[in-house]
Structure 1
Amino acid sequence: MRSIKVFHGTTEIAGQMGILSSALINKGHYSLGYNTFHSYLDYKDNLVNLDHETLKGTYEEILDSFDLFHFHYATTLCHDYSDLPELTRRNKKMIMHHWGNDVRFHDQARKNNPYVYTGDSPPNEVIHERLMKITPYIREAIVQDYEVYEYVKDYYEKVHVLPIAIDLKHFQPNYPSATKEKPLILHAPTNPDFKGTYFIEKSIEKLKEEYSFEYKRIEKMSHEEVINIYKDADIIIDQVLCGSYGLLSVESMALGKPVLTFIRPDLVSTFPSKIPIVNSNPDNLFQQVKKLLDNPVQRKELGMKGRQYVDKFHANDVVVNQLIDIYLNL
């Protein structure tokens, strides 16, 4: 199979442009991410971090240099999507990768989820308008799971479900010790409203009346710093409102930690295997954490199962084979 030159852009979400590029390079392809969205997470791998003006200046060069354009988060090379007719004219292959907040229609999200927070998503009409500009030119999309799938399935000819990818060489498992006197509970909200931090900390306060443990809330740190702190955790609480799991849950499982996240009941069966996540929402979170505090052996067992799950479904060398199949059939 001939080598493909893949452009990723223009919004780096959860390090995925860099991780997928790295995996594609390992398979003998050329891949690079151009990122115009900058945050304290400070992703750098296989990325050109630039602003919109600089991107505009390299527009022609980018069009000439790549065969396949893998766009992310409903963004393309131009704010108004005026690059799409030109890419079509040049017979470039294109695919759009939606990540959640870019397409989470507010009313639709609430239909199956009483807890969901959609304050990070644009108004419904803006989401619809963007999709209507994208889909005449880009006919296929990628999503990470069936929570996101539902929002875009009627707009595209085909929507592929591709799990979040993770580079396991950066994650050595450090399973919780069954004999630790004072367990450490961690929560790292990029957005406290979206993650349900209020409900999490309410449960933590209540648990402190009965148990001796340490609680840390981690914010505004680079991705690298955060991973170093996770290593010592005994329990990680991720997001209890969204209804599916994201990168933090995957990274926590990779580190061998038990993870608490809310998975919508109607979505549980859509994942490739039984997920070793402790399914927790604002109504049962107190009880779910309590069970883990009472049972250190279970914490370790869940950590081990989580690592196995990630090895099997989220390792970048597993995910990239599925991605290349998608590319070849575009």
Structure 2
Amino acid sequence: MFGLAFLGSMEREARWLLDRGLEVGLVSHGTDLRLPSRHAQLDRWSPFRDGDPTWIAALEGRALKNRRLLEMLDISVFVATPELLGDWPDAVWLPNVIDPADWYNDRPALSGDVPIVLHAPTNPAVKGTALIEPVVEQLSIDGIIDYQRIIKVPASEMPGRYAQADVVLDQFALGIYSTTSIEAMAAGRLVLAHLHDQVRDHIREITGREAPVVEATPDTIGDILRDVAAHPDRYREIAQRGPEYVAAVHDGALASRVLAPFLGKGALS
């Protein structure tokens, strides 16, 4: 929060704030807390099973260092995805927030002849791109879908790209849905991703809602996309649940309720 004032030490910064009577909380967004060793045992598609050993070791070291910091500070911890509760069970899920209005469009998904399928992996290794792309590209060659991989498109252009698409492929290796899925759901697009049962169960427990994300793995994505192309009406109904889900879970209202006890604004209801 204060740049180089504490020489890049999160511990010094947190202790300085705590010493002055302020409440301090930390938010994890993923690799800062996720232990590759734990995830590799949890998921057969984990990018930490066959990834670059140097990269994996660096992530493991950083996560262990941050865990030691949390143990020393004993402060509130929030996580951006329920999957991270496996790394820090005392944390609280703090849903990512977007402005749904930025992504709204009135074109129904799967309203054309051939589904337009987008994939915009900011980190292909983590997203599992190499696990799915051969199958997806072959479906595109066969004319069953129109596959478009988005590379280095400015963020300002993404709402328009989603508006033109029918299906958005998120990630197939971590067991979560990311901001990509949230934005795509807000746009009324059909989202395909691999979610752990623990993630779906926690979302249901906290929100009372089912995440409208179609479960797909590298093993099943080909069959699912063929089914989407063959039965667009069935999957259009799932896509149409997206905007309402995002408005209920990711527009900031739920995040505000989660933060209320930490901010001294009353208990979470």
Band the TM-score falls in, shorter-chain normalisation: 0.7 to 0.9
- Match of 1:187, as an amino acid? H
One of 69, 83, 102 as aligned partner of 2:32: 102
- Match of 2:87, as an amino acid? Y
Partner of 2:13: 83
Is residue 58 of structure 2 the alignment partner of residue 126 of structure 1?
Answer: no
- Match of 2:215, as an amino acid? N
Is residue 22 of structure 2 the alignment partner of residue 92 of structure 1?
Answer: yes
The Cα shift of 1:310 comes to 1.1
SS of 2:78's partner is: strand
RMSD: 2.4
Distance in 2, Cα, partners of 1:93 & 1:78: 20
Partner of 1:216: 148
Q: Tell me, yes or no, if the aligned pair for 1:233 and 1:257 is still in contact at 8 Å.
A: yes
Equivalent residues in 2 for 1:186-197 (5 A)?
A: 186-197=118-129
Which structure shows the bigger proportion of residues in helix conformation? 2
Partner of 1:16: none
Distance in 2, Cα, partners of 1:293 & 1:325: 46
- From the superposition, tell whether residues 217 and 196 of structure 1 become closer, same or farther in structure 2 (CA, over 3 Å): same
Q: Tell me, yes or no, if the aligned pair for 1:175 and 1:304 is still in contact at 8 Å.
A: no
The Cα shift of 1:326 comes to 3.1
Which structure shows the bigger proportion of residues in strand conformation? 1
Is residue 79 of structure 2 the alignment partner of residue 143 of structure 1?
Answer: yes
The Cα shift of 1:243 comes to 0.4
SS of 1:115's partner is: coil
The Cα shift of 1:134 comes to 4.1
Equivalent residues in 2 for 1:156-171 (5 A)?
A: 158-171=90-103
Q: Relative contact order (C-alpha < 8 Å, sep 6+): which is higher?
A: 2
Partner of 1:40: none
The Cα shift of 1:115 comes to 0.3
- From the superposition, tell whether residues 174 and 203 of structure 1 become closer, same or farther in structure 2 (CA, over 3 Å): farther
Partner of 1:297: 233
Equivalent residues in 2 for 1:48-59 (5 A)?
A: 55-56=3-4, 59=5
Q: Tell me, yes or no, if the aligned pair for 1:176 and 1:233 is still in contact at 8 Å.
A: no
Is residue 168 of structure 2 the alignment partner of residue 236 of structure 1?
Answer: yes
Distance in 2, Cα, partners of 1:178 & 1:197: 23
Is residue 254 of structure 2 the alignment partner of residue 318 of structure 1?
Answer: yes
The Cα shift of 1:104 comes to 1.4
- Match of 1:237, as an amino acid? L
**Alpha-carbon displacement from aligned partner over 1:262-307 (angstroms, at most 9, x marks no partner):** 0113433221222111101111111111111112212321111112
Number of residue pairs the alignment of both structures matches: 256
Distance in 2, Cα, partners of 1:274 & 1:77: 44
Partner of 1:253: 185
- From the superposition, tell whether residues 225 and 99 of structure 1 become closer, same or farther in structure 2 (CA, over 3 Å): same
Moved more, 196-205 or 207-216: 207-216
SS of 1:231's partner is: helix
Distance in 1, Cα, partners of 2:118 & 2:59: 32
Distance in 1, Cα, partners of 2:41 & 2:154: 35
Q: Tell me, yes or no, if the aligned pair for 1:175 and 1:300 is still in contact at 8 Å.
A: no
One of 205, 209, 219 as aligned partner of 2:137: 205
TM-score (norm 2): 0.86
**Alpha-carbon displacement from aligned partner over 1:222-250 (angstroms, at most 9, x marks no partner):** 32222221111011111011101111001
The Cα shift of 1:179 comes to 4.1
Q: Tell me, yes or no, if the aligned pair for 1:186 and 1:233 is still in contact at 8 Å.
A: yes
Is residue 41 of structure 2 the alignment partner of residue 111 of structure 1?
Answer: yes
**Alpha-carbon displacement from aligned partner over 1:85-117 (angstroms, at most 9, x marks no partner):** 222211121000011111111121022211011
